[in-house]
Structure 1
Amino acid sequence: MISPSLHPEAVKAVCVPRRRWAFGLTPRTIFLLGAGLLFVIPGFYEARFSYAMLIWDGLVLTAAFLDGLRLPRPSQLTGTRSWRSAPALGTATEIELTIENAGRVIVECRLTDDLPPALTREVADHRLRVFPRVPATLRYAVRASERGDWETGWLYVRYRSPLGLAERWARAPLSETVRVYPALRSTEEQQIFLARSRQIDLQLRQARQRGLGRDFESLRDYREGDDLRDVCWTATARRGALITRQYQSERSQPVWIVLDCGRLMRSRYVPPGGAESGQSKLDHACATAVALAQLALYSGDRVGLLAYGQNVQQRLLPGRGAAHLRQLIELLAQVRVETSEADHLRATAVLNRLQPRRSLILWVTDLAETAMRPEVIDGAVQLLRRHVLLFVAMAQPEVEAIAKVRPRNVDEMFRAAAAQEMTGRRERLLARLQEQGALTLDLHPEVLTPSVLNQYLTVKERGMV
């Protein structure tokens, strides 16, 4: 669940006329006017029935005019849009619309909320009855399909009295910028990994090794062979004897999340039986980044972010705390897929400059199908000289499916052979990278998050950083 502080702010505005002549007749009035044409038939035999038709239509129009005069002016209506939850991929977002009527007549409103296609694919009309001086509220849900910042439009209101002979058209300027965040795991799903993290932390506390690392553990008497740099001179002055500091292995480690935003992360993954258009590989990577950041911060680690394409898009130095997690989520919401190949070597150089000390790096990317060794492999080898690297390649389910199909003709045979060559080359590249010390995963997007969290906990349990 996203923190309420990330929810978009409520917007409230007084309605204005939709156009200069912002009123009209309702279908009910048109039907009653059409009913007057029934007098035409007897009018062929008796002329007075023709006058009856005119009198009928005049009465209907007069009633519609008086009904329209009773309606409140647009300036007497106030519209409000508020968000019950922050928009995020994969979850329904509830929006609350409120209309306040400062007039004297009950109005039947037909509301149309202008939202960007990233939040809803279909424009829906909502009906609401509003009593005088009593705010009326309705709620409806939307499901976001794209991350990032999106501009909402106006709220359009068509309202009439219960008599329903005339209606007015108004609109409320409720435009605002709404940020759609990456998908988040539910609390129940996250509890499993948090429980395992607590267990690992207890085991590490019981098995901590004194003398290693640079985290202060305790003071003791100086012994022959101790480093003079570890002498605590303030304690020595108080006790009149040499006192040295004793250290233990660091429990808090820097964890870097590196996201490839190049063209290979643009493809969308649609799970079997899923929606028409699924989320992109980068969307799945961002969701995994949020889940790992939550788990790592809970475990006491510091989390940093580097999202790159041709240039670095977003960068966040390792830190802790709820404010740091919020900043990371805000940056992930603004990450964009680029149409060109990402510059992996530049990202590697930037990361080595930002993190000179040993750390755990999660690198989520994909392997380009080229005759030469992909550049991302060269960058990964450079990181392995100093860091623990968890290299995650986003699998290609379509290619794997083609490779497993038994060909029935020559064309399918060539397609299957090409797919098998691609998957075999991919496996060899990851195997060679693993031989050089990297932790490698080749995963479908739908199992990316739980697999990465389990691998992170394994790294913590073994004390590999």
Structure 2
Amino acid sequence: MILPARRSFYLITANLTLAVLVSFLPSLLLLWYLLLGLSLSLWLVDGLLALPKHGLEIERQLPANLSVGLKQLIQLRLRHTGKRPLHLVLYDHYPQQVQAQGLPLYLSLPAGQYAEPVYSILPLERGKFIFPQLQVRGRSPLQLWWHDYPIKLKSEVRIYPNFAAISQYTLLATDNHLSHLGIMKRRRRGEGQDFHQLREYRAGDSLRQIDWKASARMHKAISREYQDERDQDIIFLLDCGHRMQAKDGELSHFDHTLNALLLMSYVALKQGDAVGLATFGGVERWLPAKKGQLSLNQILNALYDLQPTLQAPDYSQAAAQLLIRHKKRALVILITNLRDEDTDDLLPALNLLRKRHLLLLASMRELALDQKLTEPVDHLEEAIEQAATQHYLQLRQQTLERVRATGTLCLDVPPTELSTQLINRYLEIKRSGAL
């Protein structure tokens, strides 16, 4: 497509100005004809010269991984094989699930030279997306025209959940620094754990820890020290139903859940446990429990494009499917957004899972409801809203109490605290030897 450039408008203005003068001074008519003929010739010749693509080669270089909320740079590599310099405007057709800064790109490229302009993007959603093409606008030799044309340059990108927390945990993952994340890790010394080492008796050690044979040989009290058990299975049972679309701030409950799940998986894998995943509520995915840090990549690839659906969760079906798929006793972490009307379906499902597994229910509490109770009441409508909110929270609390009465471990936390609370409870379970 050919578009007029600024110099074309200058030339049009000159022709119009002279045409106005001709109406007052007919003697200038020949001059106007000459100017008009020259202008038409220049437009025609320059337009024809603008049509070729001038041997321009373009590549797009994308980062290997993108994550939600983290800004990344996109680099374009241009190679000019033509014989005359180019003046270009580049626009990249990025997916609507990202925000871009720095477009369009303006650059001049001498003949036979390279250029590597960059712009930045901010991913807003997870999933697999396409950069379909580039739009190039090149100026003609006399700068009267722009030649605007697309270049097919398809690039596929995967946008993952924000795993910056995992990087932060990696940097802080020592016994002296875990508290920076609010995670308290203490080695439990006692029975019911894997044997770690022998050491001198310390005040506070139980008599059952004393190794009497070693004490007799060493002529002093020697205690057995135990460490957290390893080789256990952790299975996440993830609700993908419509309630997980609730939002507190920029992220939905579902995105908070994925971030917590990734961090928790990293911690469990570092502890030597195997981690697996099952989803329900409109999307059914199954990832068997596996050990090793490579499993974290498998979990990322299984989750990055997962989105909550409009369906209601079926807890009973999810429990039955999990019992079929995973036979070994495991810590099953059910993450959902609990409602009072869930009792009839949820309790039988929990009882079914508890026959074989240790069960932890993590339910996210909506901050908007807590904030509603703190707002001042000045009108009848506001009083009714607060009363309805209070009644709803009471029913929800009653549901949680009924769940706890079955012997199921429970967490009821705001989405922003899910990661820390989940890891702390997991470490407590490891220390207690309950699994």
TM-score normalised by the shorter chain: which range applies? 0.7 to 0.9
1:117 to 96, 100, 117: 96
Shift of 1:259: 0.9
* Alignment partner, residue 87 of structure 1: 66
* Alignment partner, residue 400 of structure 1: 370
1:297 to 244, 269, 275: 269
After the TM superposition, which of the residue ranges 118-127 and 324-333 deviates more from structure 2?
118-127
Name the CA shift for 1:135/1:424 in 2 (closer, same or farther; >3 Å): same
Task: State how 1:330-369 maps to structure 2 within 5 Å.
Answer: 330-369=301-340
* Alignment partner, residue 401 of structure 2: 431
- Asked if 2 retains the 8 angstrom alpha-carbon contact of 1:78 and 1:172, the reply is no
Name the CA shift for 1:203/1:449 in 2 (closer, same or farther; >3 Å): closer
Shift of 1:369: 4.4
Structure 1 counterpart SS, 2:174: helix
Matched, 1:51 2:22: no
Paired positions, count: 402
* Alignment partner, residue 255 of structure 1: 234
Task: State how 1:20-419 maps to structure 2 within 5 Å.
Answer: 22-71=1-50, 73-74=52-53, 76-120=55-99, 124-161=103-140, 163-186=142-165, 189-191=168-170, 194-196=173-175, 203=187, 207=189, 250-270=229-249, 278-310=250-282, 313-370=284-341, 373=343, 375-419=345-389
| 2:278 maps to amino acid | L
Name the CA shift for 1:46/1:132 in 2 (closer, same or farther; >3 Å): same
Shift of 1:197: 10
| 2:385 maps to amino acid | R
After the TM superposition, which of the residue ranges 382-391 and 316-325 deviates more from structure 2?
382-391
- Asked if 2 retains the 8 angstrom alpha-carbon contact of 1:193 and 1:295, the reply is no
Shift of 1:265: 0.8
Mapped to 2, the partners of 1:429 and 1:144 lie a distance apart of 38
Name the CA shift for 1:146/1:314 in 2 (closer, same or farther; >3 Å): same
- Asked if 2 retains the 8 angstrom alpha-carbon contact of 1:88 and 1:144, the reply is yes
CA RMSD, Structure 1 to Structure 2 (Å)? 3.1
Shift of 1:249: 8.1
After the TM superposition, which of the residue ranges 259-268 and 43-52 deviates more from structure 2?
43-52
- Asked if 2 retains the 8 angstrom alpha-carbon contact of 1:113 and 1:123, the reply is no
Mapped to 2, the partners of 1:186 and 1:61 lie a distance apart of 63
**What TM-score comes out, normalization by structure 2 length?**
0.82
Mapped to 2, the partners of 1:287 and 1:187 lie a distance apart of 9
- Asked if 2 retains the 8 angstrom alpha-carbon contact of 1:107 and 1:159, the reply is yes
Task: State how 1:423-462 maps to structure 2 within 5 Å.
Answer: 423-462=393-432
Structure 2 counterpart SS, 1:415: helix
Q: Percent identity?
A: 24
Which string of whole-angstrom CA distances, capped at 9 and with x for unpartnered residues, describes residues 6-64 of structure 1?
xxxxxxxxxxxxxxxx3332132122221222213332332232332333343344344
Which string of whole-angstrom CA distances, capped at 9 and with x for unpartnered residues, describes residues 273-307 of structure 1?
xxxxx232212211211111122112211110111
* Alignment partner, residue 212 of structure 2: none
- Asked if 2 retains the 8 angstrom alpha-carbon contact of 1:72 and 1:105, the reply is no
Mapped to 1, the partners of 2:139 and 2:428 lie a distance apart of 64
Mapped to 2, the partners of 1:216 and 1:397 lie a distance apart of 43
Name the CA shift for 1:433/1:369 in 2 (closer, same or farther; >3 Å): closer
Shift of 1:255: 0.9
After the TM superposition, which of the residue ranges 87-96 and 248-257 deviates more from structure 2?
248-257
* Alignment partner, residue 275 of structure 1: none
Structure 1 counterpart SS, 2:84: coil
Structure 2 counterpart SS, 1:300: coil
